[in-house]
Amino acid sequence: MPSFRHILFPVDFSDQCRALAPHVACMASRYRARVTMLRVIELPVSVDPGWPAYSGLMDYPALIENEKERLHSFLRSEFETVSITRLTLEGGPGRTIAEYADNEKFDLIMMPTHGYGPFRRLLLGSVTAKVLHDAHCPVWTSAHVSEPAGPPTGYHNVLCALDLSSKSLPLLEWAAKFCRERGAGLTLVHAIPTAKPPVGLDLEGDRFRASLIEMAQAEFAKLQQQAGTKFEAVVVGGEVAEALHQTAEQRHADLVIIGRGVMQETFGRLRTNVYSIVRETPCPVISV
């Protein structure tokens, strides 16, 4: 549950990371949290101190030292007022970030999706996807859009996507606490792919879709009674990522909260949706 006390900020010196720095600093200041800026250096698999080409073709110790010096000077002014540690590790970036976050018990990972450009817009970065799948703490990802992230303006309109499974209650409680701490409004959303109206008349289908929506609204009522909340709850028809995208735009959402813990389960219900939600949502996403 929030509050966040220790935030992990993985960096690769890209423009996306630079654009994200004010958001990390703002979150850290809001919670008086410490930040660890992590640079993971991925060396070739064949690199071994005893390998003849190790010293002949490339000076890897010098490369690592250069990365450490670069990290030391990276984004200095952006984190002048934040307690920050700068650390370099060697290994596969996605796996190393997730393992380090778990081992050191971080409260939050904040990272970009690396979705700039006409083609990269279609895919999440492989490192981000790996962290989303493997990490056990909440992960904040920036909007997967072609423009760099703008300056932080706070969170005012937050959406929480719920699948109305057994995991929905702790997610709702998490989102409610986060919004109370931020003074933000919260709207609950549930998407039903089979409740999307087809093109043309479909009277029997209309009755079926209406019954699906009524059942979901009844589940929302029970869930909120358990949580002791009275947030607006919206049930929409359509594929999850598309429905969230449209709802976020219509309601001018500045943050979407989703559940991600189910991804570690075999055939998790949200496993096929988390990446598309992060990719399609027009604002930052916190996956819990």
Q: State the residue for tokens 């796996």.
A: 95
- HSE toward the beta carbon, residue 242, CA cutoff 13 A: 6
* Per-residue pLDDT band at 228 (split at 50, 70, 90): very high
d(CA 194, CA 216): 12
Determine the residue type at 61.
Answer: P
Q: Do domains 1-143 and 153-288 have the same CATH topology?
A: yes
- pLDDT tens string 3-16: 899 999 999 998 88
For the segment 245-268, the average pLDDT, to the nearest whole number, is 78
* Per-residue pLDDT band at 210 (split at 50, 70, 90): confident
In CATH terms, the superfamily for domain 153-288 is HUPs (3.40.50.620)
More confident residue, 157 or 276: 157
For the segment 24-48, the average pLDDT, to the nearest whole number, is 87
Residue 268 predicted with pLDDT over 60: no
Q: What are the residue ranges spanned by the domains of the chain? A: 1-143, 153-288
Contacts of 71 (CB under 8 A, 6+ apart): 11, 37, 39, 86, 87, 88
Q: What is the pLDDT of residue 29?
A: 95
Q: What is the pLDDT of residue 201?
A: 55
Residue 158 predicted with pLDDT over 60: yes
Q: What is the pLDDT of residue 124?
A: 64
Strand positions, DSSP E, the chain: 6-10, 34-41, 84-90, 108-111, 139-141, 157-161, 185-192, 232-237, 255-258, 285-287
Q: Alpha-carbon dihedral of residues 204, 207, 213, 218, nearest 10 degrees?
A: -140
> Which CATH number is 1-143 given?
3.40.50.620
What is the overall mean pLDDT for the chain?
A: 86
- pLDDT tens string 141-151: 999 876 767 78
